A and B are shown apart, each in its own frame.
Chain A
Amino acid sequence: MSGALLGAVSQGILWGIMVLGVFITYKLLDIADLTVDGSFALGGSVCAVLVVAGVDPLIAIVAAMLAGMLAGAVTGFLHTVFEIPAILAGILTQIALWSVNLRIMGKSNTPLLQHDTIFSRMTEATGLSINAGSIIVGLIVAVLIIALLYWFFGTEIGSALRATGNNEDMIRALGVSTAKTKMIALMLSNALVGLSGGLICQSQKYADIGMGTGAIVIGLAAIVIGEVLGRLTPGKLTGFKSRLVSAVAGSVVYFLIRAIVLQMGMDANDMKLLSAIIVALALCVPVVWERFKLRASYSKGGEADA
Chain B
Amino acid sequence: MLKLSHVKKTFNRGTVTEKRALTGVDLTLADGDFVTVIGGNGAGKSTLLNMIAGVYPLDSGTVELDGEDISRLSEPKRAKYLGRVFQDPMRGTAADMQIEENLALAKRRGQRRTLRWGITRAEREEYAELLKKLDLGLETRMQAKVGLLSGGQRQALTLLMATLTNPRVLLLDEHTAALDPKTAAKVLELTEQIVGERKLTTLMVTHNMNDAIRLGNRLIMMHEGRVIYDVAGDEKRALTVPDLLQKFEEVSGGELANDRMLLS
Contacts and interface: CB of A to CB of B under 8 A. Distances in A.
Interface of A: 152, 154-160, 162-163, 166-167, 169-178
Q: Which 8 A-B pairs have the closest CB atoms?
A: A175-B79, A166-B94, A159-B118, A156-B113, A175-B110, A177-B76, A163-B94, A167-B94
A166 B102 CA distance: 11
Contacts of A174: 79, 105-106, 108-110, 161
A206 B109 CA distance: 49
Interface in B91-148: 91-97, 101, 104-106, 108-111, 113-119
A170 B157 CA distance: 13
Interface in B46-93: 53, 74-77, 79-80, 82, 84, 86, 90-93
B95 A157 contact: no
A172 B75 contact: yes
- Between B90, B113, B114, B118, the greatest number of chain A beta carbons within 10 A of the residue's beta carbon is seen for B113
A160 B114 CA distance: 10
Given A154-B118, A156-B114, A160-B105, A175 B97 contact: no
Given A174-B106, A177-B74, A155 B94 contact: no
Nearest to B85: A173
Given A155-B117, A155-B118, A170 B96 contact: no
Interface of B: 53, 74-77, 79-80, 82, 84, 86, 90-97, 101, 104-106, 108-111, 113-119, 161
B115 A156 contact: yes
A80 to B, nearest CB: 13
B116 A156 contact: yes
Nearest to B104: A159
A175 to B, nearest CB: 3
Contact of B118 (A158, A171, A172): A158
A192 B95 CA distance: 27
B169 to A, nearest CB: 13
**Is chain B's binding surface mostly helix, strand, loop or mixed?**
loop
A176 B76 contact: yes
Contact of A173 (B77, B84, B104): B84
A272 B114 CA distance: 41
A177 B111 CA distance: 11
Contacts of B110: 174-175
Nearest to A27: B96
Contacts, number: 82
Contacts of A172: 75-76, 79
B53 A173 contact: yes
A83 B209 CA distance: 41
Contacts of B77: 175
9 contacts: A152-B115, A154-B117, A159-B101, A160-B105, A166-B97, A173-B53, A174-B110, A174-B161, A175-B111
Given A174-B108, A175-B80, A176-B76, A169 B115 contact: no
A169 B79 CA distance: 12
Contacts of A170: 91-94
B247 to A, nearest CB: 33
Contact of A162 (B82, B94, B108): B94
A169 B108 contact: no
A157 B116 CA distance: 8
A155 B120 CA distance: 10
A192 B84 CA distance: 37
A74 to B, nearest CB: 23
Nearest to B77: A175
Contact of A169 (B80, B91, B101, B117): B91
A169 B94 CA distance: 10
Contact of B97 (A163, A176, A178): A163
A109 B79 CA distance: 51
A253 B91 CA distance: 38
Contacts of B90: 167
Nearest to B88: A169
Nearest to B90: A167
B115 A163 contact: no
Nearest to A167: B94
Given A154-B118, A172-B75, A174-B108, A160 B94 contact: no
